[in-house]
Structure 1
Amino acid sequence: MKHIWLLPLVVAAGMGLSVEAGLLGPLGEEVGHGWAVLGIFALGSLLLTFGLIFGRPRLALMFAQPRWLLTGGILGPIYVAALTLATPVVGVGLTMVGILFGQVAASLVIDHFGWLGSAKRAVDGHRVGALIAILLALWLIH
């Protein structure tokens, strides 16, 4: 596995998502869920804009790509809204394990069929076992 150095990065990113869920729940309760989502995306957009101003602009290149690649921008706010709504009700742990189950299930399908430009990676018993283990964790944490 030549890219093993990426594993700590993705684990840290996952930890960051749990922290984000923990922050968004109370923020949504205080200011309203829609305002919390907007606030998070406004701050993220501000930081990205700052980075783009000092980086080499590639906006024309982005819009030259197939339009379906840009639909990922729709999924981010849906994800953040789900975190904002679910976390105060079911807690950070259950929210994150539920999201993890959904991510892994969708990822296995995408990899198996090679959708979205991904290389085909067959779903085997180990991968299905991992998904079942996450489902068991979801049931146990509930």
Structure 2
Amino acid sequence: MSTLHWAGLVVLAMIAGAVVPFQSAINVNLGRGLGHPLWATLASLLVSVIVLLPIIVAMRLPLPSLAFIGKAPLWMWAGGAFGVCFISLALVLLPKLGAAGFMALALAGQVVASLLLDHFGWFGLVERQVTLPKVLGVVLLMGGVVLIQFSDAAEKAMTATS
């Protein structure tokens, strides 16, 4: 893989991550307006369908295989449930933890789960062993989570004692 290609993938992955706190913050307000976080979750997923269908049509993608749909294992359909879980929890937790705190904790959970997925090759992924540098990376990430989440409380405690 060329350096330019790799750099492009890095930028796209960062964009994918950057849109998540915006989505969460916007959905928090939507949930307040609609009266409950689950209504915002439903609205978010419906907007996703409305945005995605014209793209699928414009790309002239062939219809999915009905044979595959009938024989696919149940776990292959869990992605939608995980999406509901993430969106709903973001709506509830983001106002309590703040955008940075929630995203840091969510990212930490994603990295730990990703290491397990890679290590065991679950769901057809290529096995990639957990190594000491990867574990150290998780420990450093967790340290960053602690700094992000508790820096406000530490600052308030320091100003209260002065």
TM over 0.5: yes
Aligned-pair CA distance for 1:141: 1.2
User: What is the CA deviation profile of residues 85-128 of structure 1, one whole-angstrom value per residue up to 9, with x for unaligned ones?
Assistant: 11111111011011101100000011011111111111111111
Aligned partner (choices 56, 62, 82) of residue 61 of structure 2? 56
Moved more, 35-44 or 50-59: 50-59
Q: Is the 8 A contact 1:111 1:121 kept in 2?
A: yes
**1:25 equivalent in structure 2:** 28
Deviates more, 1:50-59 or 1:131-140: 50-59
Calculate the TM-score normalised by the size of structure 1: 0.90
In structure 2, what is the equivalent of residue 139 of structure 1? 146
Gaps of 5+ in 1: none
SS of residue matched to 1:59: coil
Corresponding residue number in structure 2 for 1:42:
46
Instruction: Give 1:109's aligned residue.
Output: 116
Q: Which amino acid aligns with 1:140?
A: L
* Structure 1 runs (4+) greater than 6 angstroms displaced: none
The 10-residue stretch of structure 1 (72-81 or 45-54) with the greater mean CA deviation from structure 2? 45-54
More off after superposition, 35-44 vs 56-65:
56-65
Q: 2:55 and 2:62 mapped to 1: Cα distance?
A: 10
Percentage identity across aligned positions? 27
Matched pairs, number: 142
TM, length-normalised to structure 2:
0.80
Name the CA shift for 1:125/1:91 in 2 (closer, same or farther; >3 Å).
same
Q: CA RMSD in A?
A: 1.7
**What SS class does the counterpart of residue 121 from structure 1 fall into?**
coil
Deviations 1:19-65 (A, max 9, x none): 11221222222322011111111100111222233322322256156
Greater C-alpha Rg: 2
What amino acid is the match of 2:56? L
Letter in 2 for 1:16: V
Structure 2 gaps of 5+ residues are: 150-162
Partners of 2:147 and 2:71 in 1: CA distance:
43
